[in-house]
Amino acid sequence: MLMQIQPGLVLGDSVTNASLSGAFDSLLKIIFVLIFGIYVAFAFIAVRQISSMRKTLVTSFSPVIAIAGFAHFALAVIIFFFSLFI
């Protein structure tokens, strides 16, 4: 006969710290991947806004801002894919 430790828990059928840690790690990874996905969408919208701005307001500094926007988007995509594999 198994002894009752706590209501709902039976000796020999408890949840270990390792399984809780693994579940927490998985949940944390899913949250970070979702956050990075939202950030990639933000970076894409920023590139679209920069493109729209370049059509409306033409200056000598516009190409620099466009390159910075594309670099930001590329870095966001790289970090997103990096977060998938860690």
- Give me the mean pLDDT over the 18-40 stretch: 88
- pLDDT tier for residue 56 given thresholds of 50, 70 and 90: very high
Structure confidence at residue 24 (pLDDT): 87
Across the chain, what does the average pLDDT equal? Answer: 85
pLDDT(8) > 60: no
Give the pLDDT confidence of 61-84 residue by residue, as tens digits. Answer: 999 999 999 999 999 999 999 999
Helix/strand number for the chain, H first, E second:
2, 2
**Per-domain residue ranges of the chain:** 36-86
Rounded Cα–Cα distance for residues 18 and 34 (Å): 24
In angstroms, the Cα distances linking 30 to 19, 33, 42, 70, 80 are 17, 5, 18, 26, 12
Length of the chain: 86
